[in-house]
Structure formats: structure tokens, C-alpha cells
């Protein structure tokens, strides 16, 4: 068009900027911005919106913000584009600050902020925002529902997940691949295997269901489901599915079969597969296999702090103190540190988080008191024939937190 002597107008630029956005062609987008300024189209609303969206999506949030601040007629689209830009750039606090200032919000705005929380693994905040959105009278869209279900899955918030499922059915939302997988993932991670199996089957479905079989010890069922992938569904298992199978076998004490599965995989094992085998070694105290697995992780460059701590603890349990010292010395030389773990539990529909070694929970005294009461009750049950269960529980309660 330029070669024929025809000049672009505001509509032209809105389309070519959108093309740059989809292609992540930032350099071309900047050239177009220069032409827009030169030809005087920079003040048009939809041109500004496309510039903001293009810069934000391409990761240039500060450039997007400069255009946004210069805009005299900001609408919900421009505000949402900026929130989305901050969110995908992991600048969550700035995204929320801007979100709170929005004079008007729609379902896309809420979903952009919620998706940002989920991507940042701030799942509690995502669910809180989902609840706030409903109180504001905004109906969640497809992306918002998927984000909320993802948060429920990671938090184990089954009650809220079921409510969202009911909402999906009540609103007759299309159960496409993305939404269907989010539902399966939520039910599977919350332990509702049968419900998860009732949904449609794809690669992600099998990962979710196999993971749940592993958590509750359904070995025969899990192996049958794994075998049915190719025979009944025409889906070739990938490395993630093999990782689930190794975890299933290892957790159940079938370490030899798990190790054989790793060796006979049609592809190279990754961190998840080897991590599953290592965790199973920890559960069942197989130090030698654990050492071999750690060596394999080192070859892949995946020897993070948690791996060394786990191996060190296993050596300590076996009274192999010389090996403990060697592992700890290796950690010091490589300057690796163990990140504190955390657990979550849903109580009356609210997900509560507990960090290892943290006593700052506002119900800490009540929690410790309840544990002591349970320990006392288990001592009584021990005298009545429940010795093995009681002793296991006491070991758990009295175990020091490292």
C-alpha cells in the first residue's frame, strides 16, 4: 500500500498492530508506532488500545503504560489490556493496583486478573477474586471458570470446585477441551477419581486420573488405565504418563517394577519420572536405588536442594553418617538450599496453608491443642488394640520439622 503511494489511516493501523500482536512482532510494532505518531493517528482510541495490547502482550509493559498514561479516553479495553500485561509479566501487585482503580470492569477484566493470580501460583487470591466477581454481579466467562477450577485443583478446594461445576452445567457452558480438562484435573487432584473418569478422555485426562490412582493406592486400576490408553483410546503414553505409572508402582512398594519401567521407557526419563522414583525410595527406605536416581538427576542437571536433603535424610535413617556428611558437603560446595515445604487443607470451603516450621498461624494454639487431644485418644485406642495406628500417629505428631 505504501509503495503505491496510499497512506494508512487509523483503521489500517488497528489491523496491522493486531497482526504484530499475534506474531509477537515487537520490532515491526515499534516501527508502526513511529508511523502512527508521524501521521497523527496516535490519539484515536482503538489505535491506542491496539498499541497498549501489542506492547503488553509482547512483554513491553512499561511502553504499554506510557501509551496508557497519555491516553485521554481510556475505556475498559485499554484498562484490561494493561492489567493483562502486568499479570503475564508477573508484576502481580501492579496489576492488582491498576485493577482496583478501574472505573468499569467486565468479565474479561476479572478473568485477566484471576489468570494472573493462577499463573503466579497465588491460588487463594484467585478464588477470593472469583468470589468477589460474583458479589459484584459479573458472570464469569470461560477463562474465569477455567482459572477458578485450576485454583481449586491446587488448593484441594473440592466444595468450591463442585459449585463451579454446577454453575457450568446451569449456564450450559460448552464443555470444550480446556474446560473439560480443568474439571477433570480438579476432581482428580481432590481425590474424586470416579467423577474424573466420567468426563471425556484425552492425554491430560489420563495424567489426572493416574495421579489420583497413585495417591490412593489403586495399583491394579491404575495399571489397567495406563494399558488402556493405547489399546482402547488410541493415545500413546508420553513421558508424563510414565512418570505417573512409576509413582503409582513406587508408592505401593513395587520399587523393582518401578525401576524396570524407568529403564524400559521408550524415551529418556525426565525430572518428574526420576523424582517419582526417588520419592518412592524415600517412602520405602531403598537407599541404594535412591543414590542411583540422584546420580541420574545430576546428569540431567536437575539436582536441586530438595533432592540432596531427601538423600541425606535417607542416609541418616540408615545410620550412614559418613554419607550424610558427604551429601551436606556437596550441598555447601554447590550452594544449594532447601525451600521450606507447605501443606494445604480445606476447612468449611476455605483453603488453609501451613508452612513447615511456621508457628504464625492465627489458630496455632488450637491446632496444637487438638493434636495433643488426638494423641491422647490414640493412646487409649492403643490399649484397646489399635497399637500400630496409634504409634504411627504419634511418630507423625512428634516428628521434628526441618
pLDDT tens-place string over residues 259-270: 899 888 898 888
Spatial separation of the C-alpha atoms in residues 79 and 85, rounded to whole Å: 10
Q: Does 399 or 84 have the greater pLDDT score?
A: 84
Q: Is residue 98 part of a domain?
A: yes
Spatial separation of the C-alpha atoms in residues 361 and 298, rounded to whole Å: 37
Q: Is residue 387 part of a domain?
A: yes
Q: Does 344 or 2 have the greater pLDDT score?
A: 2
Provide the domain limits for residue 11: 1-104
Q: Is residue 182 part of a domain?
A: no
Q: Is residue 297 part of a domain?
A: no
Whether the CB-CB separation of 10 and 17 falls below 8 Å is answered with no
Q: Which long-range contacts (CB under 8 A, 24 or more apart) does 267-274 make?
A: 267/238, 267/239, 267/242, 268/239, 269/239, 269/242, 269/243, 269/296, 270/239, 270/243, 270/300, 271/297, 271/300, 271/302, 272/239, 272/240, 272/243, 273/239, 273/242, 273/243, 273/246, 274/300, 274/302
Q: Is residue 399 part of a domain?
A: yes
Q: Is residue 31 part of a domain?
A: yes
What's residue 247's pLDDT? Answer: 92
Spatial separation of the C-alpha atoms in residues 148 and 22, rounded to whole Å: 26
Q: Is residue 395 part of a domain?
A: yes
Could you say which of 70, 104, 138 is where a domain stops?
Answer: 104
Could you say which of 104, 127, 144 is where a domain stops?
Answer: 104
Could you tell me the pLDDT band of residue 356, with boundaries at 50, 70 and 90? low
Whether the CB-CB separation of 134 and 117 falls below 8 Å is answered with no
Spatial separation of the C-alpha atoms in residues 129 and 127, rounded to whole Å: 5
- The arithmetic mean of pLDDT across residues 89-98, rounded, is 92
What's residue 265's pLDDT? Answer: 87
What letter would DSSP give residue 338?
A: P
What's residue 312's pLDDT? Answer: 75
pTM: 0.56
Q: Is residue 37 part of a domain?
A: yes
Q: How many CB atoms lie within 10 A of CB 72?
A: 7
Which cell numbers in the block locate residue 71? 491516553
Could you tell me the pLDDT band of residue 50, with boundaries at 50, 70 and 90? confident
Could you say which of 71, 104, 137 is where a domain stops?
Answer: 104
Backbone region of residue 77 per phi and psi (left: phi > 0; alpha: psi in -120 to 50; beta: other values): alpha
Q: Does 370 or 132 have the greater pLDDT score?
A: 132
pLDDT reading at 289 higher than 60? yes
Task: Count how many domains the chain has.
Answer: 2
Amino acid at each position: 500500500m505504501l509503495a503505491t503511494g496510499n497512506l494508512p489511516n487509523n483503521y489500517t493501523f488497528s489491523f496491522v498492530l493486531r497482526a504484530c500482536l499475534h506474531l509477537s512482532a515487537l520490532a515491526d510494532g515499534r516501527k508502526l508506532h513511529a508511523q502512527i505518531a508521524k501521521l497523527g493517528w496516535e490519539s484515536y482510541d482503538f489505535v491506542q488500545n491496539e498499541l497498549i495490547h501489542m506492547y503488553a502482550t509482547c512483554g513491553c509493559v512499561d511502553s504499554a503504560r506510557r501509551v496508557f498514561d497519555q491516553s485521554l479516553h481510556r475505556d475498559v479495553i485499554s484498562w484490561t489490556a494493561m492489567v493483562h500485561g502486568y499479570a503475564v509479566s508477573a508484576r502481580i501487585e501492579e496489576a492488582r493496583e491498576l485493577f482496583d482503580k478501574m472505573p468499569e470492569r467486565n468479565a474479561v477484566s476479572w478473568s485477566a486478573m484471576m489468570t494472573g493470580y493462577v499463573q503466579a501460583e497465588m491460588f487463594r487470591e484467585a478464588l477470593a477474586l472469583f468470589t468477589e466477581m460474583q458479589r459484584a454481579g459479573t458472570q464469569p466467562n470461560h477463562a474465569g471458570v477455567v482459572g477458578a477450577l485450576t485454583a481449586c485443583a491446587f488448593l484441594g478446594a473440592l466444595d468450591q470446585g463442585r459449585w463451579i461445576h454446577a454453575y457450568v452445567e446451569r449456564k450450559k457452558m460448552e464443555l470444550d477441551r480446556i474446560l473439560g480438562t480443568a474439571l477433570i484435573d480438579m476432581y482428580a487432584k481432590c481425590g474424586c477419581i470416579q467423577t474424573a473418569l466420567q468426563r471425556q478422555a484425552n492425554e491430560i485426562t489420563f495424567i489426572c486420573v493416574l495421579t489420583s490412582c497413585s495417591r490412593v493406592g489403586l495399583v491394579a486400576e491404575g495399571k489397567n488405565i495406563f494399558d488402556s490408553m493405547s489399546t482402547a483410546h488410541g493415545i500413546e503414553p508420553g513421558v508424563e504418563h510414565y512418570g505417573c505409572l512409576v509413582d503409582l508402582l513406587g508408592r505401593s512398594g513395587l520399587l523393582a517394577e518401578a525401576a524396570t519401567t524407568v529403564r524400559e521407557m521408550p524415551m529418556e526419563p525426565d525430572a518428574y519420572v526420576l523424582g517419582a522414583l526417588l520419592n518412592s525410595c524415600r517412602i520405602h527406605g531403598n537407599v541404594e536405588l535412591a543414590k542411583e536416581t540422584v546420580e541420574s538427576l545430576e546428569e540431567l542437571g536437575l539436582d536441586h536442594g530438595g533432592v540432596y536433603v531427601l538423600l541425606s535424610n535417607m542416609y541418616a535413617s540408615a545410620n550412614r553418617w559418613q554419607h550424610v556428611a558427604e551429601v551436606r558437603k556437596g550441598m555447601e560446595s554447590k550452594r544449594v538450599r532447601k525451600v521450606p515445604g507447605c501443606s494445604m487443607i480445606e476447612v468449611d470451603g476455605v483453603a488453609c496453608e501451613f508452612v513447615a516450621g511456621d508457628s504464625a498461624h492465627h489458630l496455632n494454639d488450637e491446632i496444637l491443642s487438638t493434636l495433643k487431644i488426638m494423641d491422647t485418644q490414640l493412646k487409649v485406642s492403643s490399649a484397646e488394640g489399635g497399637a500400630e495406628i496409634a504409634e504411627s500417629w504419634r511418630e507423625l505428631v512428634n516428628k521434628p520439622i526441618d
